[in-house]
Amino acid sequence: MRLSIRPGNSLNGQVIVPGDKSISHRAALLGALGDGESRIEHFLNAGVTDAMLSILTQLRVPWQREGENLSISGNGWQGLHASLQALNCGNSGTTMRLLAGGLSAANIPAILDGSPGLRKRPMKRIVEPLKKMGVSIEATKGCAPIIISSTNLPLRGILHKMPVASAQVKSCLLLAALAADSPCIIVEPGPSRDHTECMLSEMGIAIEKWTETENNRVWYFTRLNPDHRQLLPPLNISIPGDFSAAAFFIVAAAIVPGSCIALQNVGLNPTRTGLLEVLIEMGGNIQITERVTPGAEPVGDVTVRHSVLKGIEISGSTVVRMIDEFPVFAVAAAYANGKTIVREAKELRFKESDRISALGGELTRLDVDFSETADGFIIQGCQVRGDAIVEAHGDHRIAMALTVAALAAEASVGVDGAEFIGESFPEFLPCLKKLGADVSIVEEGNGE
């Protein structure tokens, strides 16, 4: 599907972004493992969460969805049933990695598979530590399909030091650790998102977190003290708006002259909001009002006005706290005055696309001065010319970031592969249009 974007219109109004993708995934899976009827409000309805729900159907977990309300009838650890067919995780790494941990704890044999893109993404990072815990699991050449066979419970607690910060790996191991007979300690070089820890703590599971410094580097520890396969209570939560969806409007308002966008009920967990701090340091005109909420996740309203941005240097834990925001951050950097340098962000090469190389190729077509490095990129900010057709590389965030880039360009832009936006944010285009953007679908295509 090709989008055509004609720049020039300012963007004004309010947006309520969909439910957080990471929390929606966790809520669906923990609801399925829990004992009783879980009620989840503001659940994300999108391609990736549809994949998770279809898999729950295959595992014979009953659920019902009415609009954004999801209820799941969990029956504790006995509630899931093995399927002879492979479980199709689509394009979603979170679905695959979280399920691998949850199914290991529930002792459900399974074949986890997905799209050709997902089959290329690294799975050794979960397979190796799960094996150390005693799970019978294999992945050919470290990639999907992943085969989990019946295992002797209990699993073993392990001390696992991750070379890169990853919430998907951490969450996979924490879920598996629910079936261990001794504590599991996971060490990370950065503060990856902690939604799993927040939710498990709220469900009564003992989790400790602390940091330690070694050779001037901070390590982040998470320790789960299992009470072997304790019954998880059902969930009753309202999912905050997805900060990573809000990020596209935050940058759009900052770069398009005359704009003011108010985003309501956005998740503001500090392990996710690195982009806000970075944009404020760049000169972003951003107001944040925190709301008082009953849950463990901080939530608030964010208002952003057109801003004069300047370049910045980013590395270390800030990279971890804005890992999904680099496609749209690169757009902000392209419109900023001066040079932006991103270091220690090699993980971007292992997302839905190699985001460093995809951004380099496509932003260069829009005439942005972009240099790729092994673990990041350098952008010399300027005005963005546009007048080109760019391509999403099968990546929802690249598609949305390129659309945002076009909103303030000098000439029209076409974005191919826009059908991938539906994986995480099906309402993205209607929201943009409502704010005043001149965006239209010019070719439906076949989605391939």
Catalytic residues: 324
Calpha distance 259→111 (Å, rounded): 48
Q: At 348, phi and psi to the nearest 5?
A: -60, -20
Minimum CB separation of residue 25 from ligand S3P in Å reads 6
Which amino acid appears at position 3 of this protein?
L
- Encoding tokens for residue 116? 């050709």
The least distance separating ligand S3P from the CB of residue 22, rounded to whole angstroms, comes to: 3
Which residue's Cβ has the minimum distance to ligand S3P? Answer: 22
CA-only gyration radius of the chain, Å: 21
Minimal distance, residue 259 CB to ligand S3P, in Å? 26
Comparing CB distances to ligand S3P, the nearer of 98 and 333 is 98
Tokens for 249?
Answer: 């409007």
Q: Phi, psi (5° rounding) for residue 211?
A: -125, 155
Measured from the CB of residue 7, what is the shortest distance to ligand S3P in angstroms? 28
**Which residues would be at the binding site for ligand S3P (CB under 6 A)?**
22, 25, 94, 166-168, 171, 192-193, 323-324, 347
Q: For residue 55, what are its two tokens?
A: 């898999």
Instruction: Please report the sign of the dihedral spanned by the C-alpha atoms of residue 319, residue 431, residue 353, residue 441.
Output: negative
Whole-angstrom Cα distance, residue 110 to residue 89?
12
Q: Which is nearer to ligand S3P, 171 or 340 (CB)?
A: 171
Give the nearer residue to ligand S3P in terms of CB position, either 134 or 241.
Answer: 241
**Minimum CB–partner distance for residue 94 and ligand S3P (Å):** 4
With respect to ligand S3P, which residue has the nearer C-beta, 324 or 367?
324
Q: How far apart are CA 31 and CA 63, in angstroms?
A: 9
Minimum gap (Å) between residue 39 Cβ and ligand S3P: 21
How near is the Cβ of 122 to ligand S3P at its closest, in Å?
Answer: 9
Using the minimum distance from each CB to ligand S3P, give the nearer residue, 167 or 388. Answer: 167
Q: Is 380 left (phi over 0), alpha (psi -120 to 50) or beta?
A: beta
For residue 205, CA distances in Å to 13, 151, 334 come to 41, 23, 45
Smallest separation, CB 127 to ligand S3P (Å): 14
Task: Kindly tell me which of 113 and 395 has the beta carbon lying closer to ligand S3P.
Answer: 395
63/350 with CB nearer ligand S3P? 350
Calpha distance 47→52 (Å, rounded): 9
Question: What type of residue sits at position 97?
Answer: R
Nearer CB in complex with ligand S3P: 49/168: 168
Least distance in angstroms from the C-beta of 192 to ligand S3P: 6
C-beta of 267 vs 360, nearer to ligand S3P: 267
